[in-house]
Every structure is written in C-alpha cells, then in structure tokens.
Structure 1
Amino acid sequence: MKFQNILVAKNNNLAQVTINRPKKLNALNKATIEELNVAFEALEDDENIKVIILTGSEEKAFVAGADISEFAHFSVNEGGGLARQGQEMLFNFIENLSTPVIAAINGFALGGGLELAMSCHFRIASNNAKMGLPEVSLGVIPGYGGTQRLPQLVGKGKAMELIMTAGMITADDALSCGLVNHLTTQEELMPLAEKIASKIMRNSSVAISAAIKAVNANFVDGINGFDVEIEAFGNCFGTEDFKEGTTAFLEKRKPSFPGN
C-alpha cells in the first residue's frame, strides 16, 4: 500500500512510523488512522522488526488532535461508531501489539494525538512538547481511550483535572506526573528513542511480547493479571530464547536470541 499520510522507514530491526501531515499539524483523520493500522499490522508481521518508534513530521506537532471537520455534524450513533472503530482499529491495536512501540513526542500532542501516544507502550518527549485533552472545550469527551489510559498513567485526580480544565501541560509537567518517561531536546529526541530501542532489542523478543501481554492484562476487567503472568512465565520455559538466555548466562557470554 502506498501511504499518503504517513512515512515508514526500516533500519535493520528498528522501524520508524512518522505521521506526515505537517500542514494540518499531523491531525488524525480517517485516512491516517486506516494507514496507521495497515502499517502497524505489517510491522507486527515482520519478524525482523523488534521495536517501532512512532513520531510526527517536522518540529511543531506529534499529532495536534483529530480532524474535527470530519465529525462535526455526526449523529449520536455515528459518534459512538467513530470512537469504537478508532479504538479497535488503532489505539487498542497498538497497545496490544507484541512489538514494543515507543512514542517520540516532538511537539503538540493534543486530543487524539495524546491518546495515540498513550496507546504506545511508553513515551519520550522533546522539551518543546505540550500535551492535553481539550475535548470538553468542544462539548465532547476523549473518545479514543483518553479517559481510561490517562488515569492509569498519572492517577485519577490528575487525569480528572487535565480532562475537566481542557488545559495543556508542558513537557516538564508531563515528566513529573509520569505521562512521559524521558525528556530531551528536539535534536536528541530520535537519538534517545533509538538508544532505548537498541537496549530493548538486545533482549528476548519472545519474552518482551509475553511481558506486554501480562502487564496489559492488569487493566482488563475480568482478567486476573497474576494468572496471565504465571501462564506466560511458564510458557517461556518452552522457548528457544529461554534456552539461549540461560545457557549464555551460565557460560558468561552475551545471548544471541533466535526469537522463538
């Protein structure tokens, strides 16, 4: 598929997905969501890709929200369908990928943009970044998982304040409340993301996939995360990665994980 709104680049085991609508501050529209879904599906199926970095083009915005013009006249049913389809196609999909996804927030991450960043496995940001969920200022609420993921990351009280005030916070504030893991300059954002990715890629992709599933299980109603962890832990003992990892440890050498 030839993409119109995103760029996908691969370098050995690392992939970078860039939302490329700079004139619209990389706002999410239906076409971009569909393209991101296709891109992430393909990268998930690519056995060579061990880590994905998601970012926005140029220096102003990661994603400055959804394209409001697309849904300003929606009905109740259309609005509900928009949220459900978006969550299933992209936001929940990214969260549950077995391949780690790092959000490199290079500017404004507002509304659907912040929700997209929060669906990634963790986030780093440049010091010019600003984040927020301004939906209530438009008479609507976050619909792409924002009311669920923000409290998980920053706590209920802080999330309530950010959602109800519709305000933006600085990158420093985002770091202090745990919304992002690391803060750096615009110039060093991608090098830092790649450095973290290289550390991840040294480890067992099979074990990382299992860990993602176990961590996410804690936030699913009706699922006992401890049971998921126990089962995943046991399954690791049947993998070639476990054999290689333990053998390398006992032989005092660096492991070379086969990825199965």
Structure 2
Amino acid sequence: MRFENILVEKKDSLAQITINRPKKLNALNKVTIIELNEAFEELEDDTKIRAIILTGSGEKAFVAGADISEFADFSVDEGTRLSKLGHDTLFDYVENLSTPVIAAVNGFALGGGLELAMSCHFRLASDNAKMGLPEVSLGVIPGYGGTQRLPQLVGKGKAMEMIMTAGMISAEEAKEYGLVNYVTTQEELLPLAEKIASKVIRNSSDAISAAIRAVNAGFEEGINGFNVEIEEFGECFGTEDFTEGTAAFLDKRKPNF
C-alpha cells in the first residue's frame, strides 16, 4: 500500500498505521481521511491481520486536529456533508471494525485527533500527551463523534466541561478519567502497544469480533445490547474457533486459532 500521508507496516498478524504529516503535526485533511479509510479497509480484508496499532509520526503529536484551512469558508450544507463523510468513512468505520484497533497517542490529540483516538477500541498515551476538544473556541462543535464518544468514556459532566472550556488535559488526567488505559514514556509507548496487541492476537479473532459488536451495541440508540450479546454468544458456538478453543481447554493445551 502506497500513500501520501500515512505509513502502513505489517509484521506477522500485527499492522501499524502511522499518520505521517509531521510538519502539520499530523493534522487530518481530506486526503488523510480518505487514505486512512482505504488502509483500514485493506487491513480489515486481510485475514492474516488480527490487530492494528494507530499512531502519529514524531514525538509531538498523534493528530493535532483537523486541517482548518480546508473548511474555514464552508457553508452550512458543506459543513454538514463534511461531518457526515468523516463519520461514514473513518470514525464510525473504525469503531465498528471487526479487527481491534489500539490508539498509541504519542503527543497532542486535539479535536479530530482525539475523536479519531476515541473511535479506536482502546487507547494508550505517552506521558507528554495532551488531549482536548477545542472546537468551541472556533465557533463550532466537535463534528466527528466527540460529543457522543467522550461522554461514553469519561461521563457527561467531565465531557461537558472539556467541550465547553475547550481546554486540554494531561495524559495522567486522561487515565484518571478513563479516556486512556495506560500512560508510559515515548520510548515505551509502541512496545507496550505491541505487547498488548500480542495478547489480543493469541485469542479467537471470531470471538473478539463478536465482542466488539456486542459492546458497541450497548451504546446504539434503540438497540438492546443484552439481546445482541445473546445472539453473538450463540453464533460463537458455530465457529471453528469455539471448537478449537474448547477442545484445547479440555486437552489442557494452548489453542491454535
């Protein structure tokens, strides 16, 4: 895969996507969003890939935000289409991938950058990371899922405060609020992400995909997450992974998924 603004590497069952616009602090523009969509689609279709790490190039930023110069003169209709396109092609798409995505937040994750990290299945951060949704300081609101995913992760009150003040929080604060799972040094960020990914990879990819669908269902309006869990649980019994997993347990050996 050849791209202008991102790098994609594969090693065995693990893939890494690096947003590579260091001079722009990896800001999201239209081309980058399209390229990320294409990369995720290709990795989702690659049956060898069982986990994906998403990070930014350099040590300053994961993604410092959206490229404001692209939409500063947009009309109401253009702004609406911009948000919908982002949801459909990247942010909602990543959240609903059957391949787990781990965000390795290596610096600033602001605006669209934090929204992208939140669309991943979980997050790690370097100790220099700063996170926030500064959109109201520009006269707009988060438009790539920030008003919905942030309250899910940190609670309504803290999300309201972060959005209304347009302020940034530290990596340690993000961990305290449940926004990230771990905080470590820059040097250890990717090794830690890889270590956790390796634990994910050795489990059943079928079961993990089912778990993602069941967990996400609990946050969808009008969907009973418990019913989805029942259905997904039952479907697991028809998979080769279930046959292998239970046989390995009874034989007291490691499963070969």
TM-score (norm 1): 0.98
Residue of structure 1 in register with 2:115 after alignment: 115
Residue of structure 2 in register with 1:104 after alignment: 104
Task: Give the counterpart letter for 2:167 in structure 1.
Answer: G
In the TM superposition, what are the counterparts of 1:81-230 in structure 2 within 5 Å? Answer: 81-230=81-230
Cα displacement string for residues 24-61 of structure 1 (whole angstroms, at most 9, x for unaligned residues): 00000000000000000000000000000000001000
Q: Distance in 1 between matches of 2:77 and 2:239?
A: 46
3-state DSSP of counterpart to 1:208: helix
Q: Distance in 1 between matches of 2:161 and 2:223?
A: 29
Task: Give the counterpart letter for 2:147 in structure 1.
Answer: T
Q: Distance in 2 between matches of 1:140 and 1:153?
A: 22
Structure 2: give runs of 5+ residues left out of the alignment: none
Q: Distance in 2 between matches of 1:145 and 1:238?
A: 34
3-state DSSP of counterpart to 1:238: coil
Cα displacement string for residues 142-195 of structure 1 (whole angstroms, at most 9, x for unaligned residues): 000000000000000000000000000000100000000001000000000000
Task: Give the counterpart letter for 1:222 in structure 2.
Answer: G
Cα displacement string for residues 99-148 of structure 1 (whole angstroms, at most 9, x for unaligned residues): 00000000000000000000000000000000000000000000000000
3-state DSSP of counterpart to 2:123: strand
Residue of structure 1 in register with 2:235 after alignment: 235
Q: Distance in 1 between matches of 2:202 and 2:105?
A: 24
Q: Distance in 1 between matches of 2:61 and 2:90?
A: 19
Q: CA RMSD in A?
A: 0.5
Task: Give the counterpart letter for 1:252 in structure 2.
Answer: K
3-state DSSP of counterpart to 2:187: coil
3-state DSSP of counterpart to 1:142: coil
- Mean CA deviation greater in 42-51 or 218-227: 218-227
1:3 shift after superposition: 0.3
In the TM superposition, what are the counterparts of 1:50-89 in structure 2 within 5 Å? Answer: 50-89=50-89
3-state DSSP of counterpart to 1:74: coil
Q: Distance in 2 between matches of 1:235 and 1:174?
A: 36
1:222 shift after superposition: 1.1
Between the aligned residues of both structures, percent identity stands at 78
Residue of structure 1 in register with 2:22 after alignment: 22
Q: Distance in 2 between matches of 1:228 and 1:172?
A: 34
Runs of 4+ in 1 over 3 A off after TM superposition: none
3-state DSSP of counterpart to 1:33: helix
Residue of structure 1 in register with 2:44 after alignment: 44
TM-score (norm 2): 1.00
Structure 1: give runs of 5+ residues left out of the alignment: none
3-state DSSP of counterpart to 1:187: helix
1:2 shift after superposition: 2.4
Q: Distance in 2 between matches of 1:177 and 1:22?
A: 28
How many residues of Structure 1 are paired with residues of Structure 2 in the alignment? 257
3-state DSSP of counterpart to 1:183: strand
Task: Give the counterpart letter for 1:88 in structure 2.
Answer: D
3-state DSSP of counterpart to 1:48: coil
Q: Distance in 2 between matches of 1:120 and 1:59?
A: 20
Q: Distance in 2 between matches of 1:160 and 1:222?
A: 24
Q: Distance in 1 between matches of 2:58 and 2:126?
A: 12
Q: Distance in 1 between matches of 2:54 and 2:254?
A: 29
